[in-house]
């Protein structure tokens, strides 16, 4: 019962059962190792795009002409398995998300990972809508593995309609997908924590969201010397567009272009802006304002009367009152890549500048009307599971992720499997996490106890059991004693 052995190359291959009827001996057995080895290279690549694009449904195996299909033991490209250790890390992180959401009095909601494509069709050239993991279902419907969660949230808010009272404070943790060429080894799925407030037009809502983000960082042991939150408002750009009398319908497009600052060169950005029909004067005006890093300078340039300045000043004053002012800074270059933002936008970043944005969000007061409903002021953020874990690793802040078990029950003799069953069963009913181990040597059991951080080892042996007793070993202290089985707690 020890770890089974298989050659390393075998571990990376899964043979599909052949389509032809099998002889009885084949059914229960497995293909010979030699046979597998001889084909391993070509099989591994069976599901790569080059070789499989012309395969018909279910005929993958026969396409290689050898009658045996191959399934990679890896999950589909760009996706992850979560074996126990990774799962414990994920659970721990999600628990932090949930605890902060609880402190902020948000309610959890969820949506199908599969949505109608129509919910995500936008025409502003966003990266997110250009990388949709979309397809047609068997009923001819255009569906998509959702790339983000906000449109689903908006959909549910509209659906709930009058049955809910505003403001709504909802959070969700869900998997999001994208389809892009895997040239950079980027993943096709990640999990995202979303917090959204519907029905609060004032920047109070943004102030609350920022507190949630800061509370999370603090719980994780991250300080304001590790991470900062850049804040601006799309109304800054709006004000600039107004100065140059740029038509309103170009606003979203300009935002999406300007968000590429940092990815593209300044020249490329300017070129893209010009191609929308903006004058070079307007383009220069936009670029200049975006370089501002001080709110007083912004006020000087735009005047104190504009909403952008008033909103930002209010938000920074809230930050003082909440006590997280040292975490945030004004940075006019923050625009965010989503088309629907209308006001305050923000993103958290590592101060060293090594990683992508840790999270990002903003106000989207006009999303619902794009769905044909009456608008409700709204804002929210998305916080992925990837960058934060990179940061925690880098800072040495990942907690101990080892397994923990209360008791191991081990019968020293096969005859004692009955008593061992009753003991394990009754301890579990009392709320203890019990691992019942059999058919192993005592030495293995001790090693196992150490590996899974067991608190106690309960040995059921003949000489004790004759007197209704079991032997207990406390593993941290090495203390050992006998106790009546019925008195175990």
Binding of residue 318 to a second copy (CB under 8 A): yes
Cβ nearer to a second copy, comparing 141 with 354: 141
Residue 402 within binding range of a second copy, rule CB under 8 A: no
| Nearest by Cα to 442 from 481, 410, 467 | 410
Options 37, 67, 103, 352; binder of a second copy; rule CB under 8 A: 103
133 is in an annotated binding site: no
Q: At its nearest, how many Å lie between a second copy and the CB of residue 277?
A: 12
The residue within the footprint of a second copy, chosen from 310, 325, 398, 405 (CB under 8 A), is 405
Scanning 150-279, the segments in alpha helix (DSSP H) are 150-160, 204-219, 234-243, 251-258, 266-275
DSSP sequence for 191-208: EEEEEEEES--STHHHHH
Q: Can you tell me which of 64, 70, 256, 312 binds a second copy, judged by CB under 8 A?
A: 70
Interface with a second copy, residue 322, by CB under 8 A: yes
- 204 assigned to a ligand binding site: no
Interface pick for a second copy out of 122, 260, 313, 473 (rule CB under 8 A): 122
Q: Candidates 301, 312, 436, 485: give the one binding a second copy (CB under 8 A).
A: 436
Q: Nearest approach, Cβ of 40 to a second copy (angstroms)?
A: 10
Rounded Cα gap, residues 14 and 263, in angstroms: 40
Q: Residues 17, 271, 467, 484: which binds a second copy (CB under 8 A)?
A: 17
Q: Is 36 an interacting residue with respect to a second copy (CB under 8 A)?
A: yes
Of 274-282, 366-374, 461-469, 473-481: span binding a second copy (CB under 8 A): 366-374
**270 near 287, Cβ under 8 Å?**
yes
- Is residue 102 annotated as involved in ligand binding? no
| 135-154 b/e (C-beta count within 10 Å ≥ 16 → b) | eeeeeeeebbbbbbbbbbbb
| 413 labelled ligand-binding | no
| Residue 149 is labelled as binding a ligand | yes
Residue 478: DSSP 8-state? -
Please report where in the chains the tokens 């952008």 appear, as a residue.
Answer: 308
The Cα–Cα gap between 215 and 229 comes to 13
Q: If we measure between CA atoms, which residue out of 433, 452, 411, 474 comes closest to residue 482?
A: 474
Bridge-partner residues for 175, per DSSP?
Answer: 191
Cβ 146 to a second copy, closest distance in Å?
10
Distance CA 423, CA 352 (A): 55
- Name the DSSP class of 41: H
Tell me: does residue 72 bind a second copy (CB under 8 A). yes
Name which of residues 45 to 64 contact a second copy (CB under 8 A): 47-49, 52-55, 57-58, 60-61
Is position 108 an interface residue for a second copy (rule: CB under 8 A)?
Answer: yes
Using DSSP, state whether 369 is helix, strand or coil.
helix
Print the binding letters for residues 152-181 with a second copy: x by CB under 8 A, - otherwise: x--xx-xxxxx-xxxx-xx----x-x-x--
388 annotated among ligand-binding-site residues: no
Nearest CB to a second copy, comparing residues 36 and 357: 36
Euclidean distance between CA atoms 144 and 146, whole angstroms: 5
How many residues form the binding site for a second copy (CB under 8 A)?
158
107 lines the binding site for a second copy (CB under 8 A): yes
| Cα 467 from Cα 416, distance rounded (Å) | 13
| Residue list 181-210, contact with a second copy (CB under 8 A) | 189, 199-200, 202, 204, 207-208
Interaction between residue 5 and a second copy (CB under 8 A)? yes
Q: State yes or no: 150 annotated in a binding site.
A: yes
Q: Which residues contact 134 (CB under 8 A, 6 or more apart)?
A: 117, 142, 143, 144, 145, 179
| Residue 220 lies near a second copy (rule: CB under 8 A) | no
| Residue 274-313 contact track with a second copy, rule CB under 8 A, x = bound | ----------------------------------------
Angle at 124 between CA 154 and CA 333, to 5 degrees: 95
Dihedral, 416, 418, 420, 422 alpha carbons, nearest 10? -150
292/465 with CB nearer a second copy: 465
Q: Counting beta carbons within 10 angstroms of the beta carbon of residue 334, is it exposed (0 to 12), middle (13 to 18) or buried (19 or more)?
A: buried
Segment near a second copy (CB under 8 A); pick from 284-292, 314-322, 346-354, 472-480: 314-322
Which residues within the stretch 125-154 sit at the binding site for a second copy (CB under 8 A)? 133-143, 145, 152
> Could you tell me which residues are annotated as the binding site?
148-150, 178, 192, 196, 336, 340-341
> Could you tell me which residues are annotated as the binding site for L-histidine?
148-150, 178, 192, 196, 336, 340-341
């Amino acid at each position: 019962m020890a770890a089974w052995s298989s050659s390393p190359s075998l571990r990376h291959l899964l043979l599909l059962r052949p389509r032809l009827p099998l002889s009885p001996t084949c059914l229960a057995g497995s293909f010979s190792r030699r046979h597998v080895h001889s084909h391993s290279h070509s099989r591994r690549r069976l599901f790569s795009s080059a070789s499989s694009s012309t395969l018909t449904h279910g005929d993958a195996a026969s396409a290689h002409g050898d009658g045996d299909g191959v399934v990679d033991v890896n999950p589909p490209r760009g996706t992850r398995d979560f074996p126990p250790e990774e799962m414990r890390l994920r659970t721990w992180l999600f628990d932090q998300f949930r605890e902060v959401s609880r402190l902020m009095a948000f309610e959890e909601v969820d949506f199908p990972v599969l949505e109608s494509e129509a919910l995500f069709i936008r025409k502003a050239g966003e990266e997110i809508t250009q990388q949709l993991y979309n397809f047609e279902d068997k009923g001819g419907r255009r569906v998509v593995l959702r790339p983000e969660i906000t449109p689903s949230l908006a959909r549910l808010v509209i659906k709930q309609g009058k049955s809910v009272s505003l403001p709504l404070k909802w959070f969700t943790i869900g998997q999001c997908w994208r389809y892009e060429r895997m040239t950079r080894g980027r993943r096709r799925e990640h999990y995202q924590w979303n917090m959204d407030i519907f029905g609060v037009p004032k920047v109070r809502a943004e102030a609350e969201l920022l507190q949630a983000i800061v509370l999370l960082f603090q719980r994780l042991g991250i300080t304001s010397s590790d991470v900062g939150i850049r804040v601006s408002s799309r109304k800054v750009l709006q004000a600039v567009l107004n100065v140059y009398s740029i038509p309103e319908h170009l606003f979203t497009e300009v935002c999406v272009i300007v968000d590429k600052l940092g990815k593209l060169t300044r020249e490329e950005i300017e070129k893209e802006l010009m191609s929308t029909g903006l004058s070079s004067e307007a383009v220069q005006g936009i670029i200049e304002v975006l370089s501002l890093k001080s709110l007083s300078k912004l006020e000087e340039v735009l005047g104190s009367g504009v909403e952008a300045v008033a909103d930002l000043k209010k938000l920074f004053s809230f930050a003082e009152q909440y006590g997280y002012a040292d975490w945030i800074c004004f940075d006019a270059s923050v625009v965010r890549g989503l088309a629907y933002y209308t006001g305050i936008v923000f993103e958290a970043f590592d101060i060293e500048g090594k990683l992508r944005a840790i999270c990002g969000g903003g106000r989207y007061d006009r999303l619902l009307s794009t769905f044909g409903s009456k608008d409700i002021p709204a804002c929210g953020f998305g916080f992925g599971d990837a960058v934060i874990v990179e940061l925690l690793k880098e800072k040495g802040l990942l907690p101990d992720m080892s397994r923990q078990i209360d008791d191991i029950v081990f019968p020293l003799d096969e005859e004692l499997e009955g008593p061992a069953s009753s003991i394990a069963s009754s301890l579990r009913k009392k709320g203890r996490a019990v691992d019942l181990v059999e058919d192993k040597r005592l030495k293995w059991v001790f090693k196992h106890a150490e590996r899974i951080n067991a608190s106690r080892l309960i040995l059921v042996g003949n000489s004790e059991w004759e007197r209704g007793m079991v032997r207990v070993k406390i593993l941290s202290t090495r203390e050992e004693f006998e106790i009546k089985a019925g008195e175990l707690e």
